[in-house]
Every structure is written in structure tokens, then in C-alpha cells.
Amino acid sequence: MAERLGYFALVLHTHIPYVLAHGRWPHGMDWLSEATVESYIPLLDTFRKLAERGIPPKVTFSITPITCEQLADPSFPDELKSYLQHKISLCHEAEKEWRKQGEEEMAKLVKMWEDFFGRTLEKFEELRGDLIGELRNLQEAGQIEIMTSAATHGYLPLLLLDESVQTQVRLGVSAHRHHFHRQPRGMWLPECAYRSRYEWKAPLIDYKYLRKGVEEFLSEEGLQYFIIDTHLLKGGKVTGVYLERFEALKALWERVEKVERPEEIHRHPYRPYLVNSSGEPKRPVGVFVRDPETGLQVWSGQVGYPGDGYYLEFHKKHFPSGLRFWRVTDPKADLGAKEVYIPEKAEERIEEHSLHFLTLLKKVLGNFKRETGEKGIIVAPYDTELFGHWWFEGPKFLRRVIERIAEDEEIEMITCGDYLERYPADMMVSLPEGSWGEGGFHWIWLNEWTEWTWRYVYQAEMEMKELARRAMGKGERVRRVLNQMARELLLLQASDWQFLISTWAARDYGEMRVAEHYNSFLRLSQMLKELLAGEEPEPPAWQYLTYCEQRDRPFPYIDPFSFAELSFPPSTRGGDKL
């Protein structure tokens, strides 16, 4: 029997901003439907089928609370079924069109899509529309581990108040316990963005104070680990994860790529570390580090697997069906030069690439073991939507990778939490501030295009803190208004809006959503001030509150008073179930 080289932790981060009742196409609910149809359902089906064959997938599956709230919303099953039925009807029309033109090869590809949507609908109905329940069942069976995240994917290092970070983290834990019936072990920091404890000065406004490190909030909520990008551990060159996907990032990148980087430190990303920047005897939190070698091999559309000429091209779509019939051909080829997709060739490339990936894993772990004598862990975090949505063949690639690892004696799939149980971290490190975005810092989220959004966020945070303090013990009507204010602020804080603005992916939509939640917050704030002053708001104010409650309805268990002041709950929850 071959000696074990080490372990592989596949981490999938699942997040879609809150789009229920906020548009459908081209920006809005279709985002959630597309991700569910092309990524979430295929991946869950893959995990389930592997488990049925006695191959535990052991994937660490991060899903944001705001995504859970949408998938669990009573309106979602009918919405998704309608989406799939519409896609199937578009296939019928497209097939007629291609056959009429004598394009039998294209008609055959339409049939591929029709079968895909039809099978997806069947799988969704088998699950009774309960994707959260399927995730929960997989975790209860020990097949996967589910991580939580900040409530609405707020960009934690740039939020103005520690009370806001506390609320995002605490609500992230509460939501996880609500949906999955147990305490989470790990938390995905939005955009892998971290900030230690130090005397912090806010950008854009004159406001500074000693801020807690992000890991302190995790520690206080009983969380055991988070994940960072490589450069936060080692320094040196930064490899961002979004640059190739978004043209607009090149403009930002030109301004930050010349920034002086800290020298590379000889620290290995193949073991977990401990972090406690407080200077106090607090329980440290474990931190796993993204592996750059395997990351580039999968993330990159230029040198990675998704850029292979035989895989399905993401950007070229048929009008009016929206279906994709062409292959990458060459990553640099103009869309007009893309050749027709050949599914059989793509299947062959999956076999070759999955074998190459296994070989790469063993090479990296072998090198680490020879140097240190340790059985290391490769942590490979990706956006879930990369597999299936961006890279159509991605779920099949992952299935083959997991199957190959199951057959191999030198490497083992493992979740991050399970690894920490076997090999507790024992080395304390200090981490710099940064993220996994281009430049390794905050530029994607804070730049001249987005400064105004942060002014809105900061004003709302300050007002929320003051009014939450004043509203304590003031009755149910006051609590009702404050609850909705908290929802609007949390949605305003979502990092997605700045990302959409900076990448030009949906700039108008991102700007609209910021303005919408900010204006709703202000109107509700005025209503609350009237109630606190003993005045009765006019009927239109109550009607507007009802409208906001119906439009923005996540987190019925929200605690708005966590915005009022910092608290230090005892870390006694561990990993026990409720």
C-alpha cells in the first residue's frame, strides 16, 4: 500500500445577491435561476450519486445566508419551474428553426439542451424544490461540510462600525443554525477579505477608532476557521481571481499592479495556522490558505482547463433562445470565429484534465512532504458558479476528480473541519489586510466609481446604531420598523453592488440597488423617529413599510439590536447540533 502524501479540500463558495422581487432579466431573478439550473442542481446531484456509490464527496460547501434565504423562499420553486419550462419551450422553437435551415448538427445540440433542462426539472421535482434540505441531508450523512458566511456578503474590512461586522457574522451563524440545524465550524469571509485589529481610519470620512480583527468576531461566535488567499500568508506577487472575466478590471489593475508588495515569506500554504490579532487571551481561529498552483489551473480561462478549445464557450449565445452551441475554439478568438461544440470531444478532455489535476495534486503534496515531512492539505476554493455556469463541463470534471482520488492510495478528500480535528493547527501567524481580488486589497470594492456607495453605507450604519439604541424596549411597532431598517441596511452593505459597478457587469443595476436600499432605509428611519417622538406616522408610511417587508423579506429571525452595541457572547457552542 502506497504511503499517504496528504489531503485535498475542495471548497465551493455559493453566493447570489438578493434578487427576489428585484427584476428578472437581464439582471435579477434569472441570475439565481441560471446558477441553480447550471451549477447548484448538477453539483448536488453529483454529490448524491457519488454518495450512493459509496464515494463520500467530502466537499466543503460554503453557502451565504442570503442565498439560503432565497432558495428556501416559498416563491422559489414555482419561479424555477417556470424558468425551466420556458427554457424547454425555447428549445422547441430553436430546434424547428435549425431543422428548417437544414442544420441537423445544430438541431442535435438543441436536443442536448432540451434533455439537460428536462432532467434538471425532474431532479428539482424529486427534491420537492428543497435544495436546502438536500444540502442538510448530505451534511447529516457526513458526505459534505457546509460553511456559513456573512449574512449578505458584506465586505467586512470596509464596513464603518464593528457593530455592523458583528451583525453580519452573528446573523450568518444564526441563519446557518436555522437552515441546517447545527452550529457551523467555518465561515467564508466575503471576497476572502481580512483585517486585523488596529487603529483604523475610515476612508472618505473623518472617523477613526481601535477596531477588532475580523477573526475576533468569528471567535466570539464559536467559529473555528476561515480561508484566505495565498499572498496574505506569504506576501509576494498577487494573483487575483477575477481579472480575466471582466474587462473593466484591467483599468483598475493598471493603477494597482505597480504598488510595492511585501517580500515573500517562506510560509507554506499546505497547513492551517492560527490567528488572534487582539493581543488578548482570546480563542484563536484557524485559517486555511488557497493553493495557487491548483487554483490557477482551474480558475484561469487562458491557461487553465476552462479555456480548452473543446469546452463550451460561455459568451457566445444564440438569439433568441439564449442557448450556447459553440466551443471555446481558442480563448483569444473573436466570437465570430468560434466553432461548433462537439460534446464527445469535451468528454475526452474531461478525462484528460481530471487525470492531469490528480497528478498535479500529488506533485504539490509530494514536494511539501519531502521538504517538511508533513502530510499537507491543498485547499482549493472556487466560486460554485464556476462549475456549470461559467464552465459547463465543470461538474463532470469535479466528479471525475473525486472518483480518481477515491481510487488513489496517496491522497484523500477531506473537509476543512475534519482536517482540523485530525491535525489541529498549532502555529500562530499575523496576517496583513487584504482580499483575493485584483491587487490583493480593496480596490475592486472601493474606487472612484464606488466611493459614493460607501458614503451611503456609512451614513446608514451610524443612524442604525443610534436608533437601535433608542428603540430598545419601545414596543412591537417600533421593533417592526427597526427590523426592516436592519434588512435594508444589510442589503445595502452587500459587496455585490460595488463589484457590479467596478466590473461593468451590470453597473446600472448595482447603482440602482444601492440607491433603492438606501432610500428605503431613510424613509423607514424617518418613520421610526416619528414613533420614538410619540408621533403617529401617516397611513402611507405604514403602507410603504408593508411594501418593503414584502419586497425584502430575508431573515425573519433578525436581531436588529446587534447593531446597537458590541457584545461578547461566551464561546460555548462548539460544533454541537441544536
User: What are the structural domain ranges in the chain?
Assistant: 25-305+351-440, 451-563
Q: What is the pLDDT of residue 263?
A: 54
| pLDDT, tens digit, 9 for 90 and up, residues 510-556 | 999 999 999 999 999 999 999 999 999 999 999 999 999 999 999 99
**Where is 355: in which H helix or E strand?**
helix 343-372
Tell me the average pLDDT across 77-86.
98
The pLDDT of residue 571? 40
* Cβ-contact 312, 327 below 8 angstroms: yes
- The answer to whether 559 and 177 are in contact (CB under 8 A) is no
The answer, yes or no, to whether residue 122 has pLDDT greater than 70, is yes
The C-alpha cell that represents 33 in the structure block = 435561476
Segment 275-296, tens digit of pLDDT = 999 999 999 999 999 998 888 8
pLDDT score for 22: 97
Per-residue confidence at 48, pLDDT binned at 50, 70, 90? very high
Does residue 249 surpass a pLDDT of 50?
no
Best CA proximity match to 187, nearest among 165, 211, 208: 165
Q: Which cell goes with 121?
A: 426539472
Phi, psi values for residue 246, rounded to 5°: -130, 120
Residue 255, pLDDT score: 47
CB 556 within 8 A of CB 549: no
d(CA 146, CA 363): 28
Q: Which residue numbers are catalytic?
A: 191, 383
User: What residues does 14 pair with on adjacent strands?
Assistant: 63
Task: Identify the CATH number of the domain defined by range 25-305+351-440.
Answer: 3.20.110.10
Per-residue confidence at 212, pLDDT binned at 50, 70, 90? very high
- The whole-angstrom separation of Cα 134 and Cα 140 is 10
Q: Output the nine-digit C-alpha cell for 354.
A: 481530471
- Give SS3 for 365: helix
Query: Of the ranges 56-70, 434-448, 479-493, which one carries the lowest mean pLDDT score?
Result: 434-448
Q: Classify strands 285-289 and 273-275 as parallel, antiparallel or unpaired.
A: antiparallel
pLDDT at 567: 78
> Does 509 score more than 60 pLDDT?
yes
Q: Report the pLDDT averaged over residues 393-419.
A: 98
Among the listed residues 116, 190, 187, the one whose alpha carbon sits nearest the alpha carbon of residue 159: 190
The residue-averaged pLDDT of 28-57 equals 98
Task: Convert 39-86 into a string of H (helix), E (strand) and C (coil).
Answer: HHHHHHHHHHHHHHCCCCCCEEEEECHHHHHHHCCCCHHHHHHHHHHH
Residue 379: strand pairing partners: 9, 290
Long-range pairs for 35-39: beta carbons < 8 A, 24 or more residues apart: 35/384, 35/385, 35/389, 36/71, 36/80, 36/131, 37/80, 37/83, 37/84, 37/87, 37/117, 37/120, 38/385, 38/388, 38/389, 38/392, 39/384, 39/385, 39/386, 39/387, 39/388, 39/389, 39/394, 39/395
Residues 6+ apart with CB under 8 A from 523: 541, 544
HSE of 153, CA atoms in CB hemisphere, 13 A: 21
Least confident of 1-5, 10-14, 252-256: 252-256
Q: What is the pLDDT of residues 333-354, one digit of tens each?
A: 899 999 999 999 999 999 999 9
pLDDT classification of 256: cutoffs 50, 70, 90: very low
pLDDT in the model for residue 252:
47
Of 316, 319, 9, the closest CA to residue 145 belongs to 9
Q: What angle do CA 395, 396, 398 make, to 5 degrees?
A: 65
| Kind of pairing between the strands at 144-149 and 59-63 | parallel
Q: Please report, for residues 69, 146, 437, 477, the alpha-carbon distance to residue 60 in angstroms, rounded to integers and kept in the order given.
A: 20, 6, 21, 41
Burial 244-280 (b: 16+ CB within 10 A, else e): bebeebeebbeebeeeeeeeeeeeebbbbbbbbbeee
Packing angle of the helix pair 394-407, 41-52 (nearest 10 deg):
20
What average pLDDT does range 59-72 have in this prediction? 98
For residues 359 and 354, what is the distance between their CA atoms, to the nearest angstrom? 9
User: Can you read off the three cell numbers belonging to residue 366?
Assistant: 509530494
CATH superfamily of 451-563: Families 57/38 glycoside transferase, middle domain (1.20.1430.10)
What percentage of the chain carries pLDDT values higher than 90?
84
Average pLDDT for 444-458 = 94
Choose among 529, 537, 518: nearest CA to 482.
529
What DSSP assignment string belongs to 160-201? Answer: S-HHHHHHHHHHHHHHHHHHHSB--SBEEPGGG-B--SEEEE
Closest CA to 199 of 211, 217, 213, 207: 211
Strands 198-201 and 208-211: antiparallel
Rounded CA separation 246/253 (Å): 11
CA-closest candidate to residue 356, choices 297, 310, 296: 297
Closest CA to 378 of 298, 311, 263, 321: 298
Task: Say what the pTM is.
Answer: 0.93
pLDDT band of residue 437 (cuts 50, 70, 90) is confident
The pLDDT value recorded for residue 338 is: 95
pLDDT given at position 121 = 98
Contacts of 423 (CB under 8 A, 6+ apart): 271, 272, 375, 377
